């Protein structure tokens, strides 16, 4: 299967690293922003064609699909462009930074019938898969999900400490992970939501601290704290408080409530959540089926984010 990678930044390279482990996938073109950066990454990963023109990349012979890992503000227009070119698309989280754009993507997916998947990695991390499997089997019932998403990002830089050409967002990007995960694990859409935001950064123009609360009809709740001001361990940490145990997820690792590690080696074929989400995308294309984390499946998360934004 020949694919296009869109975006040469940190997450584009995470996808390229994961794809190395998946047989039968060939990245034939890299489409990105700054030409010198795109060329350097293409050479690093032995990608034969690179360009700053997405249309040129999609026109390469035999291309079936594209993975979009470009700046968030470009996701919607690029996803529509990919599908209108007749190609399947996987869009990194968030698929858009507004409900209107998310609905536009979903509408084009329905019109074209192509596979459109969201990069909601938390659905695929072995730690969260382990909990999900227990919930589906009836062995656990979620009572409360407590989540901390913390970064120290008072300047416009990426995960590698390099300047960004775009501005990140606590709600539409980082909260999106947890909003979707909470609704996925409970199998319900939040019936009650609230959100509080702290002061906006004088230069970046975004809230640097945020608190979010959600409740689903069955009674389970979620408390989410987010910050770009936290000078400490960076990342997102999840505490599942269940009727039959407490579990703490840190990326691809899982511990019980007393910090004893849980063996996840048999959960899936890899411990890399991004690789696993890409495997699902390619498998869905080959089988002609809807993937887990399809655009249609994650639309309720975007609707909940829109409701949360209206709380400010």
Same-domain status, 127 and 248: yes
Give how far Cα 67 sits from Cα of 30, 75, 306, Å: 10, 10, 25
Same-domain status, 106 and 225: no
Same-domain status, 130 and 191: yes
When computed from its CA atoms, the radius of gyration of the chain, rounded to whole angstroms, is 19
In this prediction, residue 63 carries a pLDDT of 98
Residue 7 CA from chain centroid, whole number: 15
Same-domain status, 74 and 182: no
Cis check: omega of the bond before 94, within 30 degrees of 0: yes
Strands 63-68 and 2-6: parallel
How many C-beta neighbours within 10 Å does residue 111 have? Answer: 10
* Count of all residues that appear for the chain in the document: 312
Angle at 25 between CA 23 and CA 26, to 5 degrees: 130
In this prediction, residue 204 carries a pLDDT of 84
In this prediction, residue 252 carries a pLDDT of 82
In this prediction, residue 113 carries a pLDDT of 98
Same-domain status, 109 and 20: yes
Contact 106, 299 (CB under 8 A): yes
Q: Which domain holds residue 12?
A: 2-121+274-292
Contact 214, 310 (CB under 8 A): no
Angle at 298 between CA 101 and CA 303, to 5 degrees: 55
Residue 217: what are its φ and ψ, rounded to 5°? -55, -30
Q: Find, among 125, 62, 90, the residue nearest to 6 by Cα.
A: 90
Same-domain status, 162 and 100: no
Same-domain status, 243 and 176: yes
Tens digit of pLDDT per residue, the chain (312 long)? 999 999 999 999 999 999 999 999 999 999 999 899 999 999 999 999 999 999 999 999 999 999 999 999 999 999 999 999 999 999 999 999 999 999 999 999 999 999 999 999 999 999 999 999 999 999 999 999 999 999 987 776 665 666 666 668 899 999 999 999 999 999 999 999 999 999 999 888 889 999 999 999 999 999 999 999 999 888 999 999 999 999 999 978 999 999 999 999 999 999 999 999 999 999 999 999 999 999 999 999 999 999 999 999
Angle at 250 between CA 248 and CA 252, to 5 degrees: 115
Domain total of the chain: 2
How many C-beta neighbours within 10 Å does residue 89 have? Answer: 30
Contact 110, 104 (CB under 8 A): no
Cα torsion for 271, 276, 278, 282, to the nearest 10°? 140
Contact 252, 177 (CB under 8 A): no
Give how far Cα 104 sits from Cα of 76, 95, 293, Å: 8, 11, 17
* Burial grade of 142 (CB within 10 A; 0-12, 13-18, 19 or more): buried
Structure tokens, 264: 């996840």
Contact 74, 81 (CB under 8 A): no
In this prediction, residue 205 carries a pLDDT of 87
Same-domain status, 126 and 23: no
Cα separation, 74 vs 72, in Å, equals 5
Same-domain status, 154 and 265: yes
Beta bridge partners of 148: 225, 237
CATH code of residue 146: 3.30.360.10
Same-domain status, 166 and 264: yes
């Amino acid at each position: 299967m020949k694919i296009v990678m869109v975006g040469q930044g940190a997450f584009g390279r995470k996808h390229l690293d994961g794809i190395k482990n998946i047989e039968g996938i060939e990245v034939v073109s890299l489409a990105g922003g700054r030409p010198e950066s795109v060329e350097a990454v293409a050479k690093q990963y032995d990608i034969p064609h690179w360009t700053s023109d997405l249309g040129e990349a999609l026109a390469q012979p035999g291309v079936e699909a594209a993975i979009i890992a470009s700046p968030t503000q470009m996701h919607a227009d690029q996803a529509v462009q990919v599908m209108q070119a007749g190609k399947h698309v996987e869009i990194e989280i968030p698929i858009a930074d507004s409900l209107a754009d998310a609905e536009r993507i979903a509408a084009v997916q329905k019109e074209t019938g192509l596979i459109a998947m969201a990069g909601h990695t938390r659905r695929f991390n072995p730690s969260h898969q382990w909990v999900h499997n227990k919930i589906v089997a009836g062995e656990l019932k979620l009572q409360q999900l407590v989540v901390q998403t913390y970064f120290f990002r008072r300047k416009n830089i990426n995960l590698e400490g390099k300047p960004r050409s775009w501005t990140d967002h606590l709600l539409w990007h980082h909260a999106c992970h947890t909003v979707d995960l909470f609704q996925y694990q409970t199998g319900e859409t939040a019936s009650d939501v609230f959100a509080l935001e702290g002061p906006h950064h004088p230069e970046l123009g975004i809230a640097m601290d945020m608190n979010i609360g959600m409740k689903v009809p069955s009674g389970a709740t979620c408390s989410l704290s987010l910050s770009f001001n936290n000078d400490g361990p960076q990342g997102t940490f999840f505490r599942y408080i269940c009727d039959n145990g407490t579990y703490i997820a840190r990326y691809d690792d899982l511990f019980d409530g007393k910090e004893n590690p849980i063996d996840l080696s048999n959960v899936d074929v890899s411990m890399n959540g991004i690789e696993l989400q890409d495997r699902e995308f390619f498998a869905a294309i080959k089988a002609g089926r809807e993937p887990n984390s399809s655009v249609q499946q994650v639309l309720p998360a975007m609707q909940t984010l829109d409701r949360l934004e209206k709380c400010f």
